[in-house]
């Protein structure tokens, strides 16, 4: 039985896609108003790289723009995301609250490690009252390297985690688990990519499956078998 679970946020707990398109469109309309963009909004390109730190996002989406413009757009985009979260346009994935309650009742500590910025994560945690279950939320902003593995290492060391797992939908989550001696549980959700998710120890299609995996060693063995 796992004693600690570290969850990714975007594409794992929070259905980012529900606010992504409207926030990105708003941001690129702002760029157009500044005469800094005259093409379609690159929503598909963003979906491909979903999960990387925002500085990397703007390097990819705005490769020919100055660092100053990227930083301005980063701030604008963050504001748009938070506004949409607070207005209720986002949503958690099915069974998040139920699974969190179950894990807590079974003495399993819950943490969040995300490539999202602190203000963004705080908006989600506060709106959905996730701190009723989550011991602490960690942002990539806390790590100079912007490396998810280093972020998870911070949690492992702070809370002396020796028996746990990382739950996430991208390769950075899987690597973060394995590089810190934890089990990698891949979420086959909206932004998951087959070549990445196949590297997880276990693959799930619904968070509700964690009830069996986390608290039943036989269930864990079964999921490992079908994921391979």
Confirm whether pTM is higher than 0.75: yes
Give alpha helix (H) positions in 34-163: 43-49, 54-61, 67-86, 96-105, 118-128, 148-159
The DSSP output letter for 36 is -
Reply yes or no on whether the pLDDT at 224 is more than 60: no
Q: At 137, is the secondary structure helix, strand, or coil?
A: strand
The token pair that represents 85 in the structure block: 């979260």
The token pair that represents 24 in the structure block: 């990105």
Percent of the chain with pLDDT over 70: 94
DSSP H or E stretch at residue 5: strand 4-7
Q: Kindly report, residue by residue over 72-131, the tens digit of the pLDDT.
A: 999 999 999 999 999 999 999 999 999 999 999 999 999 999 999 999 999 999 999 999
Reply yes or no on whether the pLDDT at 225 is more than 50: no
Pairing of strands 4-7, 164-168: parallel
At residue 215, the pLDDT reads: 63
Mean pLDDT within 31-36: 95
Q: 225 exposed, middle or buried (CB, 10 Å; 0-12, 13-18, 19+)?
A: exposed
Among left, alpha and beta (phi > 0; psi -120 to 50; other), residue 2 is beta
Q: At 91, is the secondary structure helix, strand, or coil?
A: coil
Q: Kindly report, residue by residue over 160-193, the tens digit of the pLDDT.
A: 999 999 999 999 999 999 999 999 999 999 888 8
Q: At 93, is the secondary structure helix, strand, or coil?
A: coil
Reply yes or no on whether the pLDDT at 227 is more than 60: no
Considering just the CA atoms, what is the radius of gyration of the chain in Å?
Answer: 18
At residue 82, the pLDDT reads: 97
The token pair that represents 202 in the structure block: 């276990």
- In whole numbers, what is the pLDDT of the chain averaged over residues? 91
Mean pLDDT within 14-39: 94
At residue 216, the pLDDT reads: 58
């Amino acid at each position: 039985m796992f004693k600690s679970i570290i969850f990714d946020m975007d594409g794992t707990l929070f259905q980012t896609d529900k606010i992504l398109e409207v926030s990105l469109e708003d941001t690129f309309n702002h760029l157009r108003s500044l005469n800094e963009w005259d093409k379609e909004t690159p929503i598909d390109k963003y979906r491909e790289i979903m999960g990387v730190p925002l500085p990397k996002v703007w390097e990819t989406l705005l490769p020919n723009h100055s660092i100053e413009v990227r930083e301005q757009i980063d701030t604008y985009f963050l504001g748009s995301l938070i506004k949409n979260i607070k207005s209720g346009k986002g949503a958690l994935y099915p069974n998040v609250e139920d699974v969190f309650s179950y894990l807590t009742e079974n003495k399993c500590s819950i943490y969040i490690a995300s490539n999202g910025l602190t203000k963004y994560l705080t908006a989600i945690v506060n709106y959905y009252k996730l701190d009723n279950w989550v011991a602490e939320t960690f942002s990539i902003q806390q790590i100079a390297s912007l490396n998810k593995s280093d972020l998870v290492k911070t949690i492992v060391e702070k809370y002396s985690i020796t028996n746990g797992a990382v739950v996430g939908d991208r390769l950075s989550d899987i690597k973060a688990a394995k590089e810190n001696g934890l089990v990698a549980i891949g979420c086959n959700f909206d932004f998951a990519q087959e070549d990445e998710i196949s590297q997880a120890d276990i693959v799930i299609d619904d968070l509700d499956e964690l009830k069996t995996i986390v608290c039943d060693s036989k269930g864990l063995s079964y999921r490992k078998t079908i994921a391979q």
